[in-house]
Amino acid sequence: MATKKFTGPSPYTLKPTYPEVDFMHTEYVNNVAANSKTEAPPVVGAIFGLGRAGSIHLSNIINNPRIILKYIVDDRPERFNGLRSHWKLNDNVTFLTSKDKDIVYSDKSVNVVFIGSPTYTHHEIVVNSIANNKDIFCEKPIAESIEDTKKCYEAAKAKRRILFAAFNRRFDPAYRALKDRVRKGEVGHVQILKVTARDSPLPSIDYLKTSGGVFHDCLVHDFDMSCWVLGELPIRVQATASALIPEVKAIDDFDTIAFLLTFPSGAIAIGDNSRYSVYGYDQRLEVFGKNGMIKVENERPSHSTELYIGQSGVTLNPIYYSFPSRYNVAYRREIEHFLDVVQYGVTPDVTSWQTLAVSKIATAAEESARTGKTIDIDWSEDDIPAVYS
Ligand SMILES: NC(=O)c1ccc[n+]([C@@H]2O[C@H](COP(=O)([O-])OP(=O)(O)OC[C@H]3O[C@@H](n4cnc5c(N)ncnc54)[C@H](O)[C@@H]3O)[C@@H](O)[C@H]2O)c1
């Protein structure tokens, strides 16, 4: 019998369905059906900075039919020939060093600027690009200080331009699904959020010297994740930090950090961070509440493959080694979202006040780590909504 009574109709007579979570299949289906939003002409862009972050964005820009790349600005001209040949760029793409950046600002055909240059250069590029009517995709943080970040957003508001802060983790499918499920109430009232972020590979000391410090360079992602998942802003910040790597200590930064954020709902976020994780880019997020727990574990290349099973246990592939590999999809999706905002007026996912709020939390956490004090945050003076969308 083998339960033949459940045979049912032929699958050929049914409309096929597939799980929504398979976003890559959706992308494929849209490509097959040529379902793109074709009415808007491509944006014309320039990119500043082709280091670790800029190189990720460059490959996504070049492969995106919604963008025509016109300028690449970087201060390592010795790489220009190699890059042109590697990416098969024709003469429509001009390479410049930053001393010639005014060519980009004054070119009226350029309507978007991507910024992946060092943090200390952002403020100047943002302000000049906005003054020349360009929309901006800017790597986090927008500027080195809260004051300069505010000035950037004020300039964007005055000129009605988009200034998008690239918080890439928001566009990671696993983190977004976790956030959506928490917001739908699957775990009920949240008690604890735990976030682990351990960097890999170890950034160069030259990079760390101009990074703005680990709280503003790395932990901003964890503060943003905590607030974004919970939908609120912390009222208390505590952090402790060590510099175990002598070169990091010598520049008065930290490589090992733990933090606690307390939220008005009573939820507590616990974070641990490291500048260097030898086994790969360790990224985990867990939310525990009244009705259960939801977790995002580390992802791996070919994660379903068990490499070896023996008497000592099971060996798996290592986790993704770096941020470009772990967040490959997120980087692509954040650019798509930015283009939706520019071309179709979609509401930006990352708002000005969220970027400012995260910057304020980072400043408080660094103060807590440096002084040993608990920092209470009063949001009333900042004109910041209490609900973090
Ligand atoms: N979201 C993320 O995952 C992520 C990851 C890494 C870095 N970042 C951010 O990206 C930014 C760059 O970091 P990085 O690690 O790529 O740095 P990097 O040092 O690897 O690269 C910086 C590049 O910018 C170029 N440059 C320097 N001054 C310039 C200028 N005025 N105009 C144009 N180019 C200039 C340099 O020649 C270099 O190629 C930082 O703000 C950092 O916080 C974000």
**pLDDT of res. 34:** 83
Q: Is the CB of 53 under 6 A from ligand 1?
A: yes
| pLDDT exceeds cutoff 90 at 309 | no
Q: Using an 8 Å Cβ cutoff, are 217 and 171 in contact?
A: no
State the distance from the centre of ligand 1 to the C-alpha of 1, rounded, in angstroms. Answer: 66
State the distance from the centre of ligand 1 to the C-alpha of 51, rounded, in angstroms. Answer: 5
Among 58, 117, 222, 328, residue to substitute to test ligand 1 (most atoms within 8 Å of Cβ) = 117
Query: Where does 170-382 sit in CATH, by number?
Result: 3.30.360.10
Ranges of each domain in the chain: 36-166, 170-382
Q: Is the CB of 116 under 6 A from ligand 1?
A: yes
φ, ψ (nearest 5 deg) of residue 84: -60, -40
Which residue's CA is the closest to the ligand 1 atom numbered 18? 51
Residue range 209-261, pLDDT digits in tens = 999 999 999 999 999 999 999 999 999 999 999 999 999 999 999 999 999 99
**Model pTM?**
0.94
Query: Of the ranges 121-135, 162-176, 372-386, which one carries the lowest mean pLDDT score?
Result: 372-386
Residue 331 per-residue DSSP state: H
**pLDDT of res. 63:** 94
**pLDDT of res. 385:** 78
Q: 146-158 vs 119-131: helix axis angle to the nearest 10?
A: 20
| pLDDT exceeds cutoff 70 at 38 | no
**pLDDT of res. 233:** 96
Q: Is the CB of 118 under 6 A from ligand 1?
A: yes
Q: In whole numbers, what is the pLDDT of the chain averaged over residues?
A: 95
**pLDDT of res. 264:** 96
| pLDDT exceeds cutoff 90 at 375 | yes
As a whole-number percent, the residues of the chain with pLDDT over 70 amount to 98
Query: Where does 36-166 sit in CATH, by number?
Result: 3.40.50.720
Closest atom of ligand 1 to CA, residue 76: 37
| pLDDT exceeds cutoff 70 at 5 | yes
**pLDDT of res. 308:** 82
**pLDDT of res. 124:** 97
**pLDDT of res. 37:** 64
Structure tokens at 103: 């060519």
For residue 63, give Cα distances in angstroms to 57, 87, 221. 10, 10, 26
Residue range 136-174, pLDDT digits in tens = 999 999 998 889 999 999 999 999 999 999 999 999 999
Q: Using an 8 Å Cβ cutoff, are 160 and 135 in contact?
A: no
CA-wise closest residue to 285 among 225, 231, 221: 225
| Averaged pLDDT, 74-87 | 97
CA-wise closest residue to 140 among 319, 380, 356: 356
